[in-house]
A and B are shown apart, each in its own frame.
Chain A
Amino acid sequence: MLPKAKLWLGLIISAAIVWSTNLQAAWELNMPQGVTQISRDTYDLHMQILWWCVAIGVVVFGVMLVSIILHRKSRGAVSATFHESTKVEIIWTLIPFVILILMAIPATRVLTEAYDSSESDLDIMVVGYQWRWEYKYLREDEGEEEVSFFSALSTPREEINNALPKGENYLLEVDNPLVIPVNKKVRFLITSNDVIHSWWVPAFAVKKDAIPGFINEIWTNVEEPGIYRGQCTELCGLEHGFMPIVVHAVEQEEYDAWYADRQESARTTRAMADNVVTAEESMIAGEQVYLRNCSACHQPTGAGMPPVFPAIAGSAIATGPLRANIDLLLNGVTGTAMPAFRNQLNPIELAAVITYVRNAWGNNTGDLIQPAEVNQILQEGQ
């Protein structure tokens, strides 16, 4: 085979390989078309404007390029003397103005549709916390078991710290994804627990800020089942880059089954609050809770990052009076980044993590806290 042909063949094969693997995702150049009517309309709008800009750019830069080549002193060009033309100024004011109107018309239509969240089939409250999301499914009957859970990054810290190889969905995976039915209008009510966050799923073309004290609404109607990933898009502090969004859009039956299942596990967890746990069980479970919820600030070693994030290893609180330790975990510390975990963890998790921190890293208090004790504190406040 001729050398040149070999070269071309090699290039074609490499291109085919690159195209066919998920390397293609790495070289992705454009916005996704997404899986909703609005996302496709948004993509079309984006492409329209882009083509307009390309066309204008080609004309303007083309004239410049011709000028740079031809109208050089080194080619002997002599400068002309024209320096104004009212007619031309009017033309190149009016033509862009008309082009803008042509752009504004479809943009207005798409925006108006995106703003119409009426007649939704399902309403979900989305609350941004530092640094995870909470999803609460609104129900018609207060007596019905509520489905409400936190959705936090599940990528292990070791992957982030380069101690382990990174998984495929690095930084875009969570413990409890949001599940919604396809082909139903889902309305999201978005707010925040602390600072401003922003909820974004590119495949839905849905992005709305989560403002503390206010609710915003946005809606979507997903047409294809699948897993869709997004991220928080408003700087919200330390772990802003580590609070992703994962949505599973599933067929209605699968959604109903999942929903019923979640209601069941909510009941079970409440019942489990009366279980008696052993020290080993607590340490194992507690370490998991700690790594998932505490280690970002307090570090897996308990060393913290003083002064902003105090150490727990060898700390006065973790080795001192038990009740004060429990209160701090439950109620947080106002004016700092330490949240009130009573709102975020259930009694089993709370008991386990208190046991863990009071016995790990040489703290060795020997305390073993039962979920029922924590439950009592939560209920009675005594």
Chain B
Amino acid sequence: MSNEKKSSTNKKLVVKLFLIVGGMFAFGFLLVPLYDVICDITGLNGKTAGRYAAGESQLVVQEDRKVTVQFTAQKNAGMSWEFKPEVSQVIVSPGQVMVVSYKAKNPNDFAMTGQAIPSVAPSAAAAYLNKIECFCFEEQKLEAGEEVDMALRFFVDENIPEQISKLTLSYSLFDITDYELVGVELAKN
């Protein structure tokens, strides 16, 4: 191959390589929305699906079935807030909308921000616990000494398998006061 041809082939190769590298880099950014889509579709990880978007009026209550829903609260790694559910459990029928609340109190003399992360056991039940309103959708900022009752509005999906008659919804409360969240919406679920 002549020197000019070599040089031009080399230049083309370099451009291609840069494009591939750039593409991979861009793919990394694309992964953020892609990851959300995958998690929503598959309901991975005991992570309940996102905010239940469809209306409540369509819901049909299956009177003859009862499902026990237990509530627990866990404060993670030194989170100093009080955090507990108002009720330990409720017994609902699939399709029946229920509202429960969790109490949170910041006993310190400075403001703090907390984030509640839900998890469901058994993990198979996670996909069937639909949250219409949940305090876990947003960060919770509490001023010094502030106490709140945070609401959870949910229903159990009618398609929940027959063998699941009890499920546990657990929230872990994390201290995210130090995290710089630049316009990133946390925990869509």
A residues near B, CB below 8 A?
Answer: 116-120, 123, 125, 127, 136, 138-142, 189, 191, 193-194, 212-217, 330-334, 338-340, 342-343, 377-382
- A189-B121, A215-B120 given; 18 more Cβ-contact pairs under 8 Å: A116-B163, A118-B164, A123-B70, A125-B74, A127-B74, A140-B88, A191-B119, A193-B74, A193-B75, A213-B76, A213-B174, A215-B121, A216-B121, A217-B121, A340-B80, A342-B80, A343-B78, A381-B107
Whether A343 pairs with B121 at a CB distance below 8 angstroms is: no
Whether B77 pairs with A194 at a CB distance below 8 angstroms is: yes
* Residues in chain A near residue B75, CB distance under 8 A: 193, 343
The docked-state distance in angstroms from the alpha carbon of A213 to that of B13 is 47
Q: How many Cβ-Cβ contacts under 8 Å join chain A to chain B?
A: 106
How near does chain A come to B165, taking the closest CB pair, in angstroms? Answer: 6
Whether B85 pairs with A212 at a CB distance below 8 angstroms is: no
Question: What residue of chain B has the Cβ atom nearest to residue A125's Cβ?
Answer: B72
* Residues in chain B near residue A213, CB distance under 8 A: 76, 117, 119, 172, 174
* Residues in chain A near residue B163, CB distance under 8 A: 116, 118
**6 smallest beta-carbon distances between A and B, as pairs:** A381-B107, A340-B78, A332-B78, A217-B121, A215-B170, A214-B119
Whether B107 pairs with A379 at a CB distance below 8 angstroms is: yes
The docked-state distance in angstroms from the alpha carbon of A289 to that of B179 is 34
How near does chain B come to A146, taking the closest CB pair, in angstroms? Answer: 9
Question: What residue of chain A has the Cβ atom nearest to residue B86's Cβ?
Answer: A142
Whether B78 pairs with A215 at a CB distance below 8 angstroms is: no
Whether A140 pairs with B89 at a CB distance below 8 angstroms is: yes
* Residues in chain B near residue A142, CB distance under 8 A: 85-88
B166 CB within 8 Å of chain A: yes
Once A138-B70, A212-B77, A340-B80 are accepted as A-B contacts, the answer to whether A382 and B145 lie under 8 Å apart by CB is: yes
Q: Could you list some 19 contacts between A and B, CB below 8 A?
A: A117-B121, A117-B122, A123-B70, A125-B74, A138-B89, A139-B88, A140-B88, A193-B77, A212-B172, A214-B46, A215-B72, A215-B170, A331-B80, A339-B77, A342-B80, A343-B80, A377-B107, A378-B107, A380-B107
Interface SS of chain A: loop
The docked-state distance in angstroms from the alpha carbon of A193 to that of B174 is 10
Interface size on B, as a range, is: 35 or more
How near does chain A come to B98, taking the closest CB pair, in angstroms? Answer: 15
Whether B74 pairs with A381 at a CB distance below 8 angstroms is: no
Whether B107 pairs with A191 at a CB distance below 8 angstroms is: no
The docked-state distance in angstroms from the alpha carbon of A61 to that of B80 is 62
* Residues in chain A near residue B120, CB distance under 8 A: 215
* Residues in chain B near residue A379, CB distance under 8 A: 107
B4 CB within 8 Å of chain A: no
The docked-state distance in angstroms from the alpha carbon of A194 to that of B170 is 16
How near does chain A come to B166, taking the closest CB pair, in angstroms? Answer: 7
B21 CB within 8 Å of chain A: no
Whether A380 pairs with B145 at a CB distance below 8 angstroms is: yes
